[in-house]
Amino acid sequence: MPARAPSLPPAYNLVALERTESTNDWARKLAGEGAEDGTLVWALEQTKGRGRQGRNWASPPGNLYCSLVLRPDCAPADAPQLSFLAALAVGGALGGLVPPLTDLRYKWPNDVLLNGRKAAGILLESAVKSDGTLDFLVLGVGVNVTSHPEDAAFPATSIRAEGAEPVELEAVLESFARHLLTWVDRWMDDGFGPVREAWLRRAWRLGERLEVNLGDEAVSGRFAGLAASGALELEMDGGARRMIAAGDVRAARAA
């Protein structure tokens, strides 16, 4: 079990585990049983951790794995905005740990990069009631604190590899939780605008050419911005803009 109980704001109800298959699966189970908003599942190790589209997320001891049950009063269409809040919260936590000149960026739609390498990922899953309203969200976060995979499709890193001093996992979780609560309050009071602006200030490859894999097709264009919905705005050749709600992005290859 954790060396000590993290000191979290009262808004959170911590469920601490030594090992589980997936914190997101555990949190979804609790949410389906009526767990309240703010239930936070934290595990020291995952045996079947996953990222977007069911991809494997290597989850050895030493890194942060947590999933939060949320029941926001918002339309299902606005729920994806929570992943941007989580990215900002992760960025706030890591920014206080890594050396001052570390380049911290947000890669659309749900990654946090340090010096161009992936240090954290976010997985957002939701459930909708029979009447079409949002039942709950599960916000999963994985942060590479002490180790990272060497064979990831997108180059990975850890905060330790980027020069951070050794830090307790409890301290990383505490910082993330505080930053997230701040951003959730801001989002509830002021909407997505301030979140969007803060995210864009550190957006990876903003203004540059990207390739986006949509599953059934691949498109390329200039990363022009972020729509009010959180969709990626891609400026196509000829000037038309395409809004992309989901996809995998990478830097465009040289012609």
* 204, pLDDT greater than 80: yes
Q: Give the residue numbers spanning the domain of 242.
A: 209-251
Distance, CA of 123 to CA of 83 (rounded, Å): 8
Residues 101 and 196 in one domain: yes
| Residue 154, domain member (yes or no) | yes
What does DSSP say about strands 39-43 and 13-17: parallel, antiparallel, or unpaired? parallel
- Write out pLDDT tens, residues 60-105: 899 999 999 999 999 998 999 999 999 999 999 999 999 999 999 9
Under the banding of pLDDT at 50, 70 and 90, the label for residue 8 is very high
* Lowest mean per-residue pLDDT among 28-32, 49-53, 223-227: 49-53
- Domain with 237 in it: what CATH number? 2.30.30.100
- Domain with 144 in it: what CATH number? 3.30.930.10
The sign of the CA dihedral 81, 103, 46, 249 is: positive
| Residue 8, domain member (yes or no) | no
Task: Evaluate whether 147 touches 62 at the Cβ level (below 8 Å).
Answer: yes
Q: What pLDDT does 58 receive?
A: 65
Task: Evaluate whether 124 touches 140 at the Cβ level (below 8 Å).
Answer: yes
- Write out pLDDT tens, residues 43-62: 999 997 765 555 666 678 99
DSSP state of 36: P
Helix (H, G, I), strand (E, B) or coil at 252: coil
- Six-digit token string for 194: 């301030």
- Please give the single-letter amino acid code of residue 168: E
Question: What's the chain's average pLDDT?
Answer: 92
